Structure 1
Amino acid sequence: LPLLHDAHHRLTPIQAARLGKDLEPYRPFWLEDCTPAENQEALRLVRRHTTTPLAIGEVLNTVYDYQALITEQLIDYVRSAVTHFGGVTPLRKLFDFAAQYQIKSAVHGPEDISPVGMAAAVHLDLAVHNFGIQEYSGHTPLTEEVFRHAYTFTEGYLHPGDAPGIGVELDEELAAAHPYKAAYLPVNRLGDGTVHDW
């Protein structure tokens, strides 16, 4: 099985470069979010010191965030989500731009992306020539009931199903019976108690 390692923006450029280099004998699929995404200069240093593929973008929301990353080939996989990037069309345009530089898609797909967003991602994956991989975390049983969807996940593969459109139907009555409750990402603290990106 391929190794995909997510450093979640926690490493300094030197730490990321060292980790990427140390992982090379294991031929990982990628090193994801190795440094803070806003510090794109860091990826130049990482890229110079390792051949481990780099993935980034789940916190990037516009094509402008990616311009240097793509044109300088500082990454190998684009990680934005359909729901965060403005929909299918803008993300498709980003993937077409990335394809010119041999960079692949890898749509962000955690549990907080609804089945609507996941279905849109699966259909987009099928439409681009530079498809790389699709993240899939699944959903709670209640979410699966409220958002009935045609796509399936079996033995590591997603299938879009045969339903029309993106293949998702909302059960409004069931949704109304379970009002929205605000949820937040966990708070992460360093050893000294300092709040840090989780």
Structure 2
Amino acid sequence: MPPEHGWSTTKYLNFIPELFKRAREKFGYDIELCHDVHSRLTPIEAAQLGKTLEPYRLKFLEDAVTYENPKGYKTIRNHTTTPLALGEKFNTIWDAKSLIENQYIDFVRTSATHGGGITPMKKLADFASLYHVRMAPHGAPDLSPICFMAHMHLDLWAPSFGVQESISFGTPELNEVFNFNATLKDGDIY
């Protein structure tokens, strides 16, 4: 197991902006950067973080706070222009409905396996596009290539496509179990 360290919100809020400052100094603004907060902050802390990250133009700040209280995202939205992403744990369009309608988020992160498959995801994408909210399907290592291929089909169709996450794309362990044909080239998947 990796070593565990005590959590310090103050240290975190001081460290993350410096991290993105250095990333932009080294890599410039031609690459898109995202940051997953893992719901560790209160709404006002997340708003502060989003505000301090504005100069580094993130693609999105993910899971800034828990989604159980959508008004937390209203607080964040009222204080920052950093785009917000949420939805890894969403199971239906109803989980995202008020967040999308109120434009508290900019990206929906639902996966096909959690969101009921391609058809419910298509409905979610259609609804999100009405409010200029983009799809960014979750692609954690616990999701199989079957889920990934479902996302690829959805991504090709979705008028509101934003980005596709894939942490475990093409790992030797997955390739032993699943036989699929997809290649990553210059940031695009074929």
- When normalised by structure 1's length, the TM-score is 0.78
The CA deviation at 1:154 is 2.4
Distance in 2, Cα, partners of 1:69 & 1:45:
12
The structure with the largest alpha-carbon Rg is: 1
Alignment of 1:45-64 (within 5 A): 45-64=75-94
Structure with a larger share of its residues in strand = 1
Unaligned residue ranges in structure 2 (runs of 5+): 1-30
- Residue 172 of structure 2 corresponds to 141
Between the aligned residues of both structures, percent identity stands at 49
Alignment of 1:160-175 (within 5 A): none
Distance in 2, Cα, partners of 1:149 & 1:36:
35
- Residue 11 of structure 1 corresponds to 41
Distance in 1, Cα, partners of 2:44 & 2:146:
39
Root mean square deviation of aligned Cα: 1.0
- Residue 33 of structure 1 corresponds to 63
SS in 2 for 1:133: coil
- Residue 74 of structure 1 corresponds to 104
Decide which moves more: 57-66 or 144-153.
144-153
Distance in 2, Cα, partners of 1:35 & 1:148:
37
Tell me if 1:150 matches 2:150: no
Distance in 2, Cα, partners of 1:77 & 1:153:
23
Deviations 1:14-66 (A, max 9, x none): 11000000000111111000001112110000000000000000011111111
Unaligned residue ranges in structure 1 (runs of 5+): 160-198
Distance in 1, Cα, partners of 2:90 & 2:145:
21
Decide which moves more: 107-116 or 146-155.
146-155
- Residue 96 of structure 1 corresponds to 126
- Residue 124 of structure 1 corresponds to 154
> How many residue pairs are counted as aligned between the two chains?
159
Letter matched to residue 119 of structure 2: T
Distance in 2, Cα, partners of 1:142 & 1:23:
36
- When normalised by structure 2's length, the TM-score is 0.81
